[in-house]
Amino acid sequence: MTRAWLSLAVLTLGVLLIGVDGTVLALALPFIGRDLATAATQVLWIGDIYSLVLAGLLVTMGSLGDRIGHKKLLLCGATAFAIASVATAYAPTAGLLIGARALLGVAGATLAPSTLALIRVLFERPRERSVAVGIWASAFSAGAVLGPLVGGLLLEHFWWGSVFLINVPVSVVLVVGGMVLLPEQRNPMPGPWDLRSVALSLIGMLGLVYALQEGAAHGIRADIVIVGFVGLAAFALFVQRQLRLPAPLIELRLFSNRRFSGVVVANLLAVLGLSGVVYFLSQFFQLVMGYSPLKAGLAELPAAASATLFGLLAGVAMCYSSQRAILSIGLALVGFAMASFTMISPSTSYPHLAIALFVLGIGLGLAFTAASDAVLTSVPPERAGAAAAVSETGYELGMALGIATLGSIVTGVYHALAIPPGASAAVTSHTEDSLSSAIEAAKQLPADQALAVVTAAKNAFSNGLAIAAGVGSVVLLASAAAIWLLLRPGTSA
């Protein structure tokens, strides 16, 4: 049993990598924007493409792991993750950075379903498995909220690419420890692997997110509408194909179980409501409140600490309480924390934000642990990889759509409100694109004009963040209510 817990320590490194890499970028964005001259839509794509590709391939990689073995897939994925991290760190242009982040998403998609599937094999007793899943989930959520702190520490001393190079030594430890400690797990009768389904799922996700982001940035155009319809059509064909195939890429019939479908959908909506706001909160600390990267990272520490602690406590609590109660309470706490962000402005005091972040971390730790455990216990061991992939797909798709939709709200409100009255055309061309561009443009202006530009831009950014937080709060509170109803005793199907 000691070997099982040592193996769990190795597996948590995999999800820690994914969590950190999903959010470590946020603090580096102002530096990337300055060095690579990124436009507002490129900023969204740099943040979004990682989660988007990850979501598009998680089911594929979970299914692949069932076929070739989850240990083998995990070790290959960790190696590829290290290589892609180096490529990302040294990307010379915004376009190449987006491409490198996409490759990072491909590698990251191999990690989460493999780690959760191997936990299912290592811990057969329900109570031990619940505690193990709690540790695994707390590493995931802690990684997500520790990302800004890690980024702040690195950016205080090094260039922005360092936030990606930190992945390399962790990947090396994961590969070496995995080779020594992890067992192999595969489905002895996996069936054929359908590449057409893989293509349809990726086209669907990329098409929809592209239409959301470009539509918010540039308005409704014919080409954007066409891409959106292509995405919807690809999704429809994907679902139709999965229902016909004898060995589908994703077992959609699992969603006939109300408990399973409720947890997956709630997970997606929770992350959707949360991710877009948290993604821009790091920029708020730096660009609006004037914090250094390290101080901005430390400012988000309350969420990291509470997510880690309560993720672990949730794993223990599920031995004595219900998944329904823990998941509903967790979602509601995140929703209430998000509601408090609707009051955010350039004059908001840090204690107000710290309390909200602490409550947000509690809810995130509780909800993600309970959701992961609920999904894992709903399937037999040989389908653990595919089920874990469905759960993680909901998480990553929620993150991608959250940055796309709520991020587009922030960007749209900023564009509408950022121009100060009487601004010249030269000032407007810089100010309307992004807050970081407005701050840079103000350095070239007389003092009174500079103050007007920066004040208008900071207020516009804060208003956009507040509106996005309100939308996210409604989504999360509705999810909490839905889970409380769907997971009632006696509603297993």
Residues with Cβ within 8 Å of residue 164, at least 6 apart in sequence: 21, 24, 85, 86, 88, 89, 104
- Spatial distance between the Cα atoms of 210 and 228, rounded to a whole number of angstroms: 7
Percent of the chain past pLDDT 90, that is, above it, reads: 4
Q: Which of 149, 153, 174 is nearest to 162 (CA)?
A: 153
Task: Please check the confidence at residue 385 and state whether its pLDDT lies above 70.
Answer: no
Q: In 10 A of CB 225, how many CB atoms?
A: 12
Q: Where are the domains of the chain?
A: 2-193+249-486, 194-248
The DSSP call for residue 383 is G
Most confident of 2-16, 93-107, 138-152: 93-107
Average pLDDT over residues 37-66: 73
At 417 the pLDDT is: 64
Task: Please check the confidence at residue 231 and state whether its pLDDT lies above 80.
Answer: yes
Does the pTM surpass 0.85? The reply is no
The DSSP call for residue 182 is P
- For residues 474 and 376, the model is more confident at 474
Average pLDDT over residues 109-133: 75
Token reading at 50:
């990682």
Token reading at 328:
């509903």
Token reading at 354:
């710290």
At 351 the pLDDT is: 92
Task: Please check the confidence at residue 492 and state whether its pLDDT lies above 60.
Answer: no
Q: 424: burial class by Cβ within 10 Å (0-12, 13-18, 19+)?
A: exposed
- For residues 203 and 130, the model is more confident at 203
Q: What angle do CA 351, 349, 418 make, to 5 degrees?
A: 140
- For residues 100 and 394, the model is more confident at 100
At 493 the pLDDT is: 46
At 355 the pLDDT is: 92
Q: Which of 124, 80, 128 is nearest to 105 (CA)?
A: 80
Token reading at 448:
């009174």
* Residue position matching structure tokens 């430390």: 298
List pLDDT tens digits, range 32-47. Answer: 877 787 776 777 778 7
Q: Which of 463, 477, 462 is nearest to 273 (CA)?
A: 477
Least-confidence region, from 151-160, 231-240, 341-350: 151-160
List pLDDT tens digits, range 283-302. Answer: 788 888 888 877 887 887 78
Query: Strand, helix or coil at 419?
Result: coil
Average pLDDT over residues 92-109: 87
Most confident of 52-61, 353-362, 426-435: 353-362
- Spatial distance between the Cα atoms of 55 and 202, rounded to a whole number of angstroms: 9
Most confident of 154-168, 246-260, 313-327: 154-168
Average pLDDT over residues 195-203: 81
Averaged pLDDT of the chain: 77
- For 16, 200, 396, the CA distances from 140, given in Å and listed in that order, are 5, 28, 12
Give Cα 424 to chain centroid, integer Å.
39
Give Cα 87 to chain centroid, integer Å.
21
Least-confidence region, from 132-136, 356-360, 388-392: 388-392
- Spatial distance between the Cα atoms of 182 and 180, rounded to a whole number of angstroms: 6
- Spatial distance between the Cα atoms of 262 and 245, rounded to a whole number of angstroms: 24
Percent of the chain past pLDDT 70, that is, above it, reads: 77
At 233 the pLDDT is: 92
Task: Please check the confidence at residue 186 and state whether its pLDDT lies above 70.
Answer: no
As its CATH architecture, domain 2-193+249-486 has Up-down Bundle (1.20)
Q: 448: burial class by Cβ within 10 Å (0-12, 13-18, 19+)?
A: exposed
Task: Please check the confidence at residue 135 and state whether its pLDDT lies above 70.
Answer: yes
Query: Strand, helix or coil at 114?
Result: helix
1: pLDDT confidence band, cut at 50, 70 and 90? low
Task: Please check the confidence at residue 421 and state whether its pLDDT lies above 80.
Answer: no
Q: What angle do CA 99, 103, 108 make, to 5 degrees?
A: 140
Residue 108 · residue 17 · CB < 8 Å: yes
Alpha helices in 318-383 (DSSP H): 323-340, 350-376
Element of type H or E holding 127: helix 126-155
Task: Please check the confidence at residue 422 and state whether its pLDDT lies above 60.
Answer: no
At 382 the pLDDT is: 57
At 83 the pLDDT is: 92
- For residues 454 and 90, the model is more confident at 90
- For residues 193 and 493, the model is more confident at 193
- Spatial distance between the Cα atoms of 281 and 143, rounded to a whole number of angstroms: 16
